[in-house]
Amino acid sequence: MFNWTQRLADWLVYDVLKIAHKSKFGDALNFFIYDTIKIFILLLIIIYAITFIRSFFPPEKTKKILAGKKGNTFFAHILAAMLGIVTPFCSCSAVPLFIGFVEAGIPLGVTFSYLIAAPMVNEVALGLLYGLFGLKVALIYIISGEVIAIVSGIILGKLGLEKYVEEYVYQIKVGDAGIDFSDPTLKERLLDSWHFTKDLLKKISPYVVIGIVIGGFMHGWIPANALAKYAGKDNPFAVFIAVAFGIPLYSNAAGVIPLVSELTRAGVAMGTALAFMMAVTALSVPEMILLRRVLKPRLLAIFIGITGMGILFTGYFFNVIL
């Protein structure tokens, strides 16, 4: 699929710019052009596809679907985690969504399954993982993200933590936004998705490019496997440290994934890298500050603890089997 990109990069660097083959700079530039084009094409395709699917799941619909599955059933958790992929999410929406879900009678555990999956499994992360690590790692990321969301949600649901939700949440009567929800036509969906994709790509592109450039420098300066000694499979603390650093670090997937891909080349084990990326995306300080408005400190701590444990476990698991 990307042979032409390689040819284009070769032609630009070696024929148009006349940079010598095998020169360090020429090869780095070639790699940069090839990588950038490939990643942006994949991002474009994946963001567009997910945005299009998303147009069928506005938050009201998600809420209705989940509220219809009364109770803490296993199926409700799976559904919540899957809806988390296809509904739009930003950390500033976490609280209104949380209130909307709880008020609609969706069990707390199911709400958490959704809240864990939504930020972690997103179109930008998928596009970048596919572009930089390949399809297999991208799939591993989605599936383990979903499993963490489902399992953590089930555990949180079983603990009976409803009393640690701020009381006022239960007293809110959520109004009906009352927008006319006539289904958009196919043409409108396709067009709206295109606008959204364009805006999102514009927003993340500086981060992606900077990430790839810094990655390119690391490629030149850090020899392969230099970090293996510290963060390879043999260091049992590596995953723990990666998660501990990843949780407070607030970065978007766009900037962090290109760097992590270089770190794996430098010898950081794959499971450790996955755990780090998950910790960065799933749990962030700004989101926790917002969630604190609806969750009492104890519940917030349990939420972070269980999700963090799930990510840790995933990291160790993939360090063993990959």
Partner 1 sequence: MEIKVYGPGCRNCTNLEKEVMNALAELDVAANVEKVTDIKAIAEAGIMMTPGLAINGKVKSYGRVPKREEIKEFIKSEM
Work out whether 145 is an interface residue with partner 1 (CB under 8 A): no
State the minimum distance, in angstroms, from the CB of residue 295 to partner 1.
12
Whose Cβ is closer to partner 1: residue 72's or residue 91's?
91
State the minimum distance, in angstroms, from the CB of residue 174 to partner 1.
6
Q: Spell out a b/e string for 263-301, using b for 16 or more CB atoms within 10 Å of the CB, else e.
A: bbbbbbbbbbbbbbbbbbbbbbeebbebbeebbeeebbe
Whose Cβ is closer to partner 1: residue 3's or residue 171's?
171
Work out whether 90 is an interface residue with partner 1 (CB under 8 A): yes
Give the chain's length: 322
Q: How many residues bind partner 1 (CB under 8 A)?
A: 28
Among the candidate windows 12-20, 56-64, 66-74, 218-226, which touches partner 1 by CB under 8 A? 56-64
Work out whether 103 is an interface residue with partner 1 (CB under 8 A): yes
- Considering only 68, 71, 96, 184, the residue that binds partner 1 (CB under 8 A) is 96
DSSP string, 32-75: HHHHHHHHHHHHHHHHHHHHHHHTT--HHHHHHHHHHS-S--HH
State the minimum distance, in angstroms, from the CB of residue 79 to partner 1.
17
Q: How far apart are CA 7 and CA 30, in angstroms?
A: 10
State the minimum distance, in angstroms, from the CB of residue 98 to partner 1.
9
- Considering only 139, 143, 159, 177, the residue that binds partner 1 (CB under 8 A) is 177
